[in-house]
Amino acid sequence: MPHASSNQFASPPKHKSYLKLFVIFGFILAISNALSAYIHSSYLSDFVGQKNIGLIFTATYLLTFLAVLSYTSIINWLKIFRTTLIVFVVMIASLFGLGIASTPLMAVIFFLCYIIFLNLIWITLDIYIEYFSNNKVTGRIRGIFWSGVHIAWFISPITSGYLLKYFDYSFLFLIAACLAFFVMIAFSYKFRNLKVNHFPRPHFFKAVKQIYKDKLLNGIYVIAFLLQCFYVAMVVYAPLYLHEHIGIPWHQIGIMFTIMLSTFVFTTYPAGWLADKYFGEKEMLSLGLVIMGFSVIIFGSIESAPLWAWTAILFMTRIGASLVQIMRDSYFFKRVDVKHIHLINLFRNTTPIAYIIFPLIATLILTFFDFRYIFIVVGVIVLSGLFFSTRMQDTK
């Protein structure tokens, strides 16, 4: 993903008020995103069937990946403010479209457009925040921004679960559209006169070649990809499995997911501190892979359990995921800095790449086996990361 450092712009103003606005924008957009994120698979299955969902996600994220690679050129052509408005308009229109879609073709097209332009919006926020940031406090600014995003994701599942107790999927999409529309209006009013310089294009294939040859980094790239495969399984398929196959209502799933996501609030900082102070990343990364892998295998191995047991298993999956996520970032960013922008771009693109590949694997699984084998397979895939984590050179 394109990520511009402040020295790529002409005399950027360091306005704290503007940064505060983007923290608010990020929080509202995260709520808009998270309100419907866990029902996408169920929504699409009503139109195309459960076995075809993987193909839809693969096609969507393949186009997202290509759009991300082209986004820098589009910004250079249209300039960032005009590009941002276009991206906002298409994303909001797509959300409204998802709310009123009545045919499979409409639902798929609107979903595809929504995911693509949602990803471009987050890149745009990244660029603007860097533009207004002073390098001496970039870490704190990013920390505040992402804390707001995580809080939004923490509170949204229980909110969407409660709303789905009284309304249908369309209502969530319409609320999400209204929230994004509010951000677009505020953004267009405040930043219409901002001028920026030309963006350098990222070099994707150069990054792939460099990572392939770098023994210190290629393992962490593989683990980053495996983590994203886990997230694909748990975001796309777990809600569908719990609701459609286990029969848990959405308002209870919302509570379960809120408890599950609380792990990121209380494990991330202590894990990073322990890695810096005592262990290094290697050991805790391996521990996280073990916890995540075995707990998701257990999730796919049981067919009947009380609600508290499902919640406890989901909670453990995210304990492992939170450890892997913070150790992944800690290890990677100790090895690279801002001058390695092409490596950072590739690191971030592990998400769309996972969304391209794993849904195809899930589609193949559903062709021959039942739904729960998706989680057993992803657990085995996650555990394969131990081959790389145990061979990494610690940064401590």
CATH code, 11-201: 1.20.1250.20
Is residue 110 over pLDDT 50?
yes
Average of per-residue pLDDT values in the chain:
83
d(CA 291, CA 341): 32
- Given pLDDT bands bounded at 50, 70 and 90, which one contains residue 365? very high
Q: Tell me the percentage of the chain whose pLDDT exceeds 90.
A: 39
- Given pLDDT bands bounded at 50, 70 and 90, which one contains residue 1? very low
Token readout for 249 is 């209502």
* Residue in this structure with the two tokens 């997202």, named with its chain if needed: 64
Q: What share of the chain is helix, strand, coil (3-state, %, to 5)?
A: 80, 0, 20
Q: CB burial class (10 A; 0-12, 13-18, 19+) of residue 63? A: middle
Q: Tell me the percentage of the chain whose pLDDT exceeds 70.
A: 84
Instruction: Give DSSP secondary structure letters for 25-50.
Output: HHHHHHHHHHHHHTTHHHHHHHHH-G
Domain 11-201 and domain 203-396 have a common topology: yes
* Residue in this structure with the two tokens 């191995």, named with its chain if needed: 301
Contact 73, 201 (CB under 8 A): yes
Structurally, what CATH architecture does the domain formed by 203-396 represent? Answer: Up-down Bundle (1.20)
Q: CB burial class (10 A; 0-12, 13-18, 19+) of residue 342? A: buried
Cβ within 8 Å of residue 143, ≥6 positions away: none
Write down the pLDDT at residue 133.
64
Write down the pLDDT at residue 361.
93
- Indicate the range of 74-78, 172-176, 333-337 predicted with least confidence: 333-337
Q: Average the pLDDT over 289-295 and give the result.
A: 95
Compare 76 and 194 and report the one with higher pLDDT.
Answer: 76
Query: Domain map of the chain by residue range?
Result: 11-201, 203-396
Write down the pLDDT at residue 198.
55
d(CA 298, CA 309): 11
- Indicate the range of 143-157, 170-184, 187-201, 223-237 predicted with least confidence: 187-201
Compare 1 and 137 and report the one with higher pLDDT.
Answer: 137
Token readout for 212 is 């392939």
pTM for the model stands at 0.80
For 305-337, how does the pLDDT look when each residue is reduced to its tens digit (9 = 90+)? 899 999 999 999 999 998 888 888 777 767 766
Is residue 156 over pLDDT 90?
no
- Residue 242 belongs to what H/E stretch? none
Token readout for 311 is 């919640």
Distance of CA 310 to the CA centre of its chain: 23
